[in-house]
Structure formats: C-alpha cells, structure tokens
Structure 1
Amino acid sequence: MSNATLVTIDRVIATLAGQGIGAADDPSGRAAHANHNGYNLLFVLLDSVLIARADSVTDTPADTPDATLYLAANQVNSSYLDARALVVNRTENIVVRTEAEIPVGAGLADDQLATALNASVAGVMETQDAMRVLVGEIKRTAEEAGAEED
C-alpha cells in the first residue's frame, strides 16, 4: 500500500481517466468537469473534502408550484446514504443535483482515491436514478388518486 498524499485536482482527473471518465480542469485548479452517461459531473476540491456532483436539468420551470421534485429529494435523502439530492431552482428550469463528499484532509493513497471516486460517482448516479424513479411513482400515485376522485 502506498502512502497517503495530498489530493489535487490533477490526481482526481488522472484517477477518473483510469475509470473511463474524461474530466477537464477549470482555471481555478480546484475543480474538474466531466460528462458521464448524460450527466454533467463536477468535482470540487476544498481544503478537507472533495465534492462529487451530478446535475440533471429538468423540463420543470423553476417557479412551478408542483412540489414533486422536492418530495422525491426528501424521500431520497431520508433513505439513501451514498449521496444526497438537492433541488436547485435558481435557473430557468429546476436542476436535480446529487452530491457526495470524500474526506481528503489527511490525503489519500492512489488506491484509496480510486475507490472513493468510484463509490462517489456510483452514488451520485444511483441517486439521480432514484430521483427519476421516485418522481415517476409520485406522479403516478397523484394521477391515480385524481382518477379515483372523479
């Protein structure tokens, strides 16, 4: 086992490349962007944590009174441990964002970084999938309840 070393965005990019994810750094040197399975991925390196994030833009306007996405995020966050779901309504359409954190303050060995990145990417992707399924279930249930009232 190798020694733990400082996690840099260059190490993150190289490790992701080894996992088949092409990421590019931004001018800050603290973040990397990638597109993976149709999702925009962002990796942000802070002092003690690396944040892995997946964004999915929806067709739902940000000013919608429909709370379905918020309800789904609440349900996901109360049952999933690998990542958390957020509903971002600061753009024209709502963005479903999933995030996972990797503690990096003490540094990580190459194999630790690879394992943590693999788990984080899997976690944010699975949480995106869970959001999609839950939104569908909530909408179906609401439609069935509406049909029964008629």
Structure 2
Amino acid sequence: MSNATLVTIDRVIATMADQGVEVTDDPSGRAGHANVSGYNLLFVLLDSVLIVRADSVTDTPADTTDATLYLAANQVNSSYLDARALVVNRTENIVVRTEEDIQVSAGLSDDQLAAALKAAVDGVLETQDAMRALVGEIRKQAEAAEE
C-alpha cells in the first residue's frame, strides 16, 4: 500500500485514465471535465474536498410550475445514499445535478483515490439514473390520477 499524498487534479486525471475515463484538465488546474454515459462530469478540487459532479440538461424550462423534478430530488436525497441530487434552475432549462464529495485534506494513497473516484463516479451516475426513474414514475402516477 502506498502512502497518502496530496490529491491533485493531475492525479485525478491519471487515476480516471486507469479506469478508462478521459478527463480533460481545466486551465485553472483545479478542475477536470469528462463525458461518461452521456453525462457531463466535473471534478473540482478544493482545499479539503474533491467534488465529483454529473449534470444532465433537461427539456424542462427553468420557469416551469411543474414540481416533478424537485419532488424526485427530494425523494432521492431522503432515501438514496450514493450522492445528492440538485435541481438547478439558473439556465434556460433545468439541469439535474448529482454530486458526491471525497475528503482529501489528509491526502490519499493511489489505491484510496482510485476506490474513492470509482465509488463517486458510480454514485453520481446511479443517482442520475434514480432521478430519471423517479421522474418517470411520478409523471406516470400523475397521468393515472388524471384519468
């Protein structure tokens, strides 16, 4: 087992490459971008945490009165432990964002970083899938109630 060392975005890029995911370095040196399974992934390194985020732009206008996405996010966040879901309404259309944090302030060994990144990426992608499934189920129930 290797010693815990400082987590850098270069280490994240190399570790993700070992897992078959190409991460592009951001000019800031504190972030990286990737596209996995149709989701835009962002890796942001702060002082004590590495944030792994997946975004999915929806067709739903940001000013909608339909609360389906918000209800689904609430249900995911109250019952799903892998990552948290957020509904971002600051653009033209709503973005479903899922995030997970990796604590890095004490550094991580290569094995720890690889395991943490795999779990985080899997978690944010599975949470995106959970959001899609819940949105579909909520809409299906709403349609059935209208009939």
Structure 2 residue aligned with 1:92: 92
1:84-127 Cα offsets, whole Å, 9 max, x none, are 00000000000000000000000000000000000000000000
Runs (4+) off by over 6 Å = none
Structure 2 residue aligned with 1:38: 38
Structure 1 residue aligned with 2:50: 50
Distance 1:8 1:37 in 2: 25
* Structure 1, gaps ≥5 residues long: none
**Secondary structure at the counterpart of residue 128 of structure 1:** helix
**Secondary structure at the counterpart of residue 74 of structure 1:** helix
Q: Percent identity?
A: 81
RMSD: 0.3
For the pair 1:81 / 2:81, whether they are aligned, the reply is: yes
Structure 2 residue aligned with 1:144: 144
For the pair 1:68 / 2:68, whether they are aligned, the reply is: yes
Distance 1:72 1:9 in 2: 32
Distance 2:126 2:9 in 1: 24
**Secondary structure at the counterpart of residue 41 of structure 1:** strand
Distance 1:17 1:79 in 2: 32
* Structure 2, gaps ≥5 residues long: none
Structure 1 residue aligned with 2:18: 18
**Secondary structure at the counterpart of residue 69 of structure 1:** helix
Distance 1:80 1:119 in 2: 14
Deviation at residue 82 of structure 1 after TM alignment: 1.1
Distance 2:25 2:110 in 1: 19
Q: How many residues align?
A: 147
Structure 1 residue aligned with 2:28: 28
Give the alignment's TM-score, normalised by structure 1.
0.97
Give the alignment's TM-score, normalised by structure 2.
0.99
Distance 1:3 1:101 in 2: 21
Structure 1 residue aligned with 2:118: 118
**Secondary structure at the counterpart of residue 2 of structure 1:** coil
Distance 1:81 1:141 in 2: 24
